[in-house]
Structure 1
Amino acid sequence: MFAALSAFCLTGCMDNNDDPDLSKFSITSQTSVGEVNTTIADIKKKYCAGRNGADFSRNASNFYTQVKDSQVIEGVIVANDISGNLYQTLMLRSFSSETDTIGDCILLSIKNTCLYPYFQLGQKVKVNLKGLYVGCYSKTPKIGQPYYTSYGNLNLGPMLLDLCKTNIELVGAPDPNARELKPWVPTDAWLRATANRTYQNSPTLATVRGYITEVQGDNVNIPAVGEVTGEKEPIYMDADSVKYKIFAPEVLHDDGYGVDRTIQLLTNTSKVTLRTSTENEIAFTRIPVTTCTFTGILTYYDGWQVQLRALDDLNILPTEQEQ
């Protein structure tokens, strides 16, 4: 009788029709953050075109302004931190028309080291910018909050994670086939044109094709020297006694804990920098000698540079496509 009574009490406390409350595990708003009333392109034009009128300006490349009113943008997540190569960084992309190919993009920086489970590729989001800061970090349009660097410089850094609950709303489920996830392929002529090196075109999701110059011919025998550490990079040898280098050895890190390699484009003499953070799966990957496609966040500072989102963004081309 006691056993039967216990079983009755236990089953009486369970309701098979109750859905688990998952809202407490979410880091984003469970209610609407407002109706979309502006675009990424308009926000960049208003806050990222130049430092004149900005709340704070350290120089022409680093400035920001706090958004005082409710301005709501919408975009699709096209880059996240799944590989560790992007740090506390997401990228949103939207299109202004059906014929648009480059799209309008902006970085969204959030203070957390594991964003990708919450912000998957293809996920549409709305962001209410009220209380957040918008401007440029190293010439790149960005949403975040001010912070002091280890050098004492005030820059536009990541927003606090708690603000996601009030300022960011997920819209629907992630769409792996979203149009926004298709990278744009700039031509060599486009990359060379000075007129294209503006805040409107940076950042963006793009693919470039070429090869890494640091492993071509005898270059594989020449170690680079870290500008911060002063140490030479390691040169490895595989089972067939072939020497090789990896993308981002720790000893080559710069002040931003990244390593730059050079992509020689096939179509002309143009070059694009491949920037890789240290201590992630891409950093320790062997650099292919052959021609590859490199897909990721394309930005412009002193030159065009691309940063891979994950190892899948590196693809070796068949020999016949190299011609």
Structure 2
Amino acid sequence: MTFVSCNDDFDTPPMVVPQATHQPNMTIADFKAKYWKDVNNYIDTVKEDIVIHGWVTANDVSGNIYKSLYISDGTAGFSISINGTSLYNTYRVGQEIVLNMKDCFVGKYNGQQQIGYPEFYEKGSVWEASFLPLATFQSIAELNGLPAVNKVDTIPMSISDLKTDAETLKKWQGRLVRIDNVRFSDADGVNTFANSDATTNRNIEDENGNTLVVRNSNYATFRANILPLGTGSVVGVLSYYNTSATKLDGGTWQLYIRTADDCIGFSSSTKGLLTDPYTVEEAIAGEAEGLSGWVSGYVVGAVAPEVSEVKSADDIEWTAPTTLDNTLVIA
């Protein structure tokens, strides 16, 4: 008789913590300023021994951000255009990346300053910073340590902060920001983040009427989610889009959310929308709280002429035809 046994107590392989060999010697803010040009498309080559670093603030995990990473070192944010997909598998939010920039390219693509690769735009007869080959990016980018989400800085700001002068563009492009007390202008309980056939712009609006485009891909995992209702906070990375051949200002600020979780504190209730109106009883109960929205009921009469405040049944005409047709009573 033969006995066979197996040992399932395998040794756990050691965790390999990546360590960069290059040391940063310039902040992102200083790097952006050094290579900034007041045009909407250009490309420049870094000839000096410059090393920058940053923690990943946004990637392509949901499909809303396309072939790009965003990083920040606390002084500024920066976008990196990369001809690759599923970047989030390696470059997770909170992962520190060290970039050896010598002989690499920086420029703008339609107003957005970014690390990229030279491409000639024939229609505009200009060079621009387009997608950096993935292999090239991998050759200059070193991981340093394990992802640390606590290193990701989210900057509170207001929509009104977004001007289009050069200093504002340098400051806010590529930043992960949080904007509080805003609502989605198109939120009606029906509209989704994006249409099924195209990238869709949805505006957020603050209490002063300032608006900002939230740009949503039809490939995003949250595309079909209903737009959040009510008022809340939105987190995302800022981009700037300008196709003018001559004007630096006049472009459009755009916000890209990373996942649906970047919309915080909004209401999930559809009550008061056209698809889910209040009853008359609910509307009366909420009047003192400033409740607003659609109300469903049956027309039972109209306010009598010269009555400014209904105090009794005598102030209402209950039978048709009524004298007035623009002050109806429902129940």
**Deviations 1:271-308 (CA, angstroms, capped at 9, x unpaired):** 11111111221222111232232111123342332110
Offset at residue 143 of structure 1 (A): 0.6
Q: Does 1:260 align with 2:201?
A: yes
Offset at residue 34 of structure 1 (A): 2.5
Q: Does 1:83 align with 2:79?
A: no
The residue type paired with residue 73 of structure 1 is: I
Identify the residue that residue 121 of structure 1 maps to in structure 2: 93
Identify the residue that residue 162 of structure 1 maps to in structure 2: 135
Q: Does 1:315 align with 2:264?
A: yes
The counterpart of 1:48, out of the listed 7, 26, 36, is 36
Q: Does 1:202 align with 2:173?
A: yes
SS of the aligned residue for 2:88 comes to coil
In structure 2, list runs of 5 or more residues that go unmatched: 5-9, 242-250, 270-288, 290-331
Distance change in 2, residues 1:244/1:151 (3 Å): farther
In structure 1, list runs of 5 or more residues that go unmatched: 8-15, 24-29, 51-59, 96-102, 221-242
Report if aligned partners of 2:43, 2:105 keep a CA contact under 8 Å in 1.
yes
**Deviations 1:196-230 (CA, angstroms, capped at 9, x unpaired):** 63223212111123112123xxxx5xxxxxxxxxx
Distance change in 2, residues 1:31/1:165 (3 Å): farther
**Deviations 1:8-54 (CA, angstroms, capped at 9, x unpaired):** xxxxxxxx88968989xxxxxx774532221211211111233xxxx
**Separation of aligned partners in 2, 1:311 and 1:36:** 33
**Separation of aligned partners in 2, 1:162 and 1:168:** 10
Q: Does 1:212 align with 2:184?
A: yes
1:278-289 aligned within 5 A:
278-289=218-229
Q: Does 1:294 align with 2:234?
A: yes
**Separation of aligned partners in 2, 1:37 and 1:271:** 38
**Deviations 1:152-184 (CA, angstroms, capped at 9, x unpaired):** 985312211212442111111111222xx2311
Distance change in 2, residues 1:278/1:169 (3 Å): same
**Deviations 1:129-155 (CA, angstroms, capped at 9, x unpaired):** 123210122222211112467979853
The counterpart of 1:142, out of the listed 84, 109, 114, is 114
Percent of aligned positions with the same letter in both sequences? 27
RMSD over aligned Cα atoms:
3.3
Report if aligned partners of 1:33, 1:167 keep a CA contact under 8 Å in 2.
no
The residue type paired with residue 265 of structure 2 is: I
Report if aligned partners of 1:77, 1:91 keep a CA contact under 8 Å in 2.
yes
The residue type paired with residue 253 of structure 2 is: W
The counterpart of 1:175, out of the listed 141, 148, 151, is 148
SS of the aligned residue for 1:197 comes to helix
The residue type paired with residue 303 of structure 1 is: T
Identify the residue that residue 55 of structure 1 maps to in structure 2: none
Offset at residue 106 of structure 1 (A): 0.6
Distance change in 2, residues 1:17/1:294 (3 Å): closer
The counterpart of 1:67, out of the listed 46, 70, 83, is 46
Count of residue correspondences: 254
Identify the residue that residue 25 of structure 2 maps to in structure 1: 37
Offset at residue 118 of structure 1 (A): 0.5
**Counting helix residues as a fraction of each chain, which structure ranks higher?**
1
The residue type paired with residue 168 of structure 1 is: A
Offset at residue 61 of structure 1 (A): 0.9
Identify the residue that residue 193 of structure 2 maps to in structure 1: 247
The residue type paired with residue 245 of structure 1 is: N
Offset at residue 116 of structure 1 (A): 0.5
**Separation of aligned partners in 2, 1:195 and 1:71:** 23
**Separation of aligned partners in 2, 1:135 and 1:105:** 15
**Which protein is bigger by CA-based radius of gyration?**
2
**Deviations 1:104-132 (CA, angstroms, capped at 9, x unpaired):** 01111222110011011111110011232
**Separation of aligned partners in 2, 1:273 and 1:46:** 29
Identify the residue that residue 190 of structure 1 maps to in structure 2: 161
Offset at residue 309 of structure 1 (A): 1.0
